[in-house]
Amino acid sequence: MGQRSDARQKMVQAAKQLIRERGYNATAFSDVLKLSGAPRGSVYFHFPGGKTELAIEAAGAHAHEQVELIDHAAEQADSATRLIEVYLDLGREGMVASGYTRGCGIAPLVTEGATRDSADMAEATRQSFAEMTDRLAYHFVAFGIERSAACTLANAVIAGVEGAMVTARAQQSTAPYDAVQAALTVYAAAVSPKSGGRQAG
């Protein structure tokens, strides 16, 4: 059972990587099998729902990875402004390390029209982005920002990062990350309490 679960997880991770690099439509099961090393017969054993089910799992894995990055950034931060700086730094570093090939594991499912054909996929992409924004908002509130402003800032961060990924790849430059970081930290500072630091409770 452990081997079966391991093979499934490897396929999900491979799909996530390929969707981030190529998009959804250009990611084939054969590519996922090659990258993951899983046997051909395992495709419909692990994913009876086919490519749609695999993509949904990959989107969830991407969201989980981003939530972990957000928590990691929050651990290193002493304010909402610093959290944004660290999170954007991580995104910038990841983009450079990938040679400007890395994108989002969720966005292609939306932009390439896959969510129009599957209500389950549409809900999965909505939920995945919600998990990321909710986690950011949680930390912003912990740093003393009023909840409404925290939600606005969290949505702006995710939207900004998504846009930065696309334009950085097109420009082969980290400038979009720098611009998003500069703009959002100004807003974060404006809505943050003067004392800074995490709030008790």
| Model pLDDT, residue 198 | 64
The range of the structural domain enclosing residue 20 comes to 2-191
3-state SS assignment for residue 122: helix
Is 8 domain-assigned? yes
| Model pLDDT, residue 2 | 46
3-state SS assignment for residue 199: coil
Is 183 domain-assigned? yes
Is 29 domain-assigned? yes
Distances (CA, A) of 119 to 24, 72, 90, 123: 16, 32, 32, 6
End-to-end Cα separation, the chain, in angstroms: 42
Mean pLDDT by 10 residues, the chain (201 residues): 70 96 94 90 86 96 97 97 98 97 96 94 97 98 98 98 97 98 97 71 43
Is 50 domain-assigned? yes
The CATH number linked to 11 is 1.10.357.10
| Model pLDDT, residue 1 | 40
| Model pLDDT, residue 38 | 86
Is 198 domain-assigned? no
- Would you say 128 and 60 are in contact if contact means Cβ atoms under 8 Å apart? yes
Q: Which residue has the tokens 């679960």?
A: 5
Is 196 domain-assigned? no
Is 197 domain-assigned? no
Q: What is the pTM of this model?
A: 0.90
- Please tell me the distance from the alpha carbon of residue 186 to that of residue 173, in angstroms, as a whole number: 22
| Model pLDDT, residue 197 | 60
For helices 147-171 and 80-97, what crossing angle results, to 10°? 20
| Model pLDDT, residue 112 | 95
Q: How many domains does the chain have?
A: 1
Is 201 domain-assigned? no
Neighbours of 199 (CB within 10 A): 11
**What are the tokens at 157?**
């961060």
